[in-house]
Amino acid sequence: MRETISSEHYITILGQFVSTQLALEDRPKIEWFMQDGARPHRTENVFLFLDEYFGNRVIALDYPKFTGTGMDCPPYSPDLTPCDYFLRGALKDTVYGNHPSTLDELESAICVACNSISVETLKDVMSNFILRIRHLIFSNGQHFESIVF
């Protein structure tokens, strides 16, 4: 998506996500939906959409203040998802190493960098993700900073 993400664009993306999830017959049931605190994610229309589809099963900044349900996104929460703890860092040097100067060059560099990640690396990343989730479960959702992944 080349446009700036507005709340309207974000609701469109959320709608596509929800409709895809509902269409999958063998889909896992979504227990909770979590989003970060980006400004387009914290508008009245977005919160109304989330409330309609996820109700009190939302973790998001300011969501409880608006709806009275859900859970506020914890400050300084650990990077649990592979996109947070792996992908961003893995792509950064490769993508920006050639100093792309146009959106087309940037998009091409991102595609090349993503395609260069080996299957073995992706398996390691997913193993690490499972380990992170296990630590989260073991700590009963509490903070655990002394663990090195």
Q: pLDDT (tens digit, 9 = 90+) per residue, 69-88?
A: 888 877 666 667 788 888 88
Hunting for tokens 């893995």 — which residue is that? 90
How far is Cα 64 from Cα 68, in angstroms, rounded to an integer? 5
In this predicted structure, the answer to whether residue 102 has a pLDDT above a threshold of 70 is: yes
**pTM (predicted TM-score):** 0.66
**Mean pLDDT taken over the chain:** 85
Q: What is the pLDDT of residue 117?
A: 94
**Which uninterrupted H or E stretch holds 34?**
strand 33-34
Distances in whole angstroms, Cα of residue 100 to Cα of each of 77, 87, 88, 106, 108: 32, 19, 17, 5, 9
List the domain boundaries for the chain.
7-67, 78-139
Q: What is the pLDDT of residue 142?
A: 67
In this predicted structure, the answer to whether residue 64 has a pLDDT above a threshold of 80 is: yes
In this predicted structure, the answer to whether residue 120 has a pLDDT above a threshold of 90 is: yes
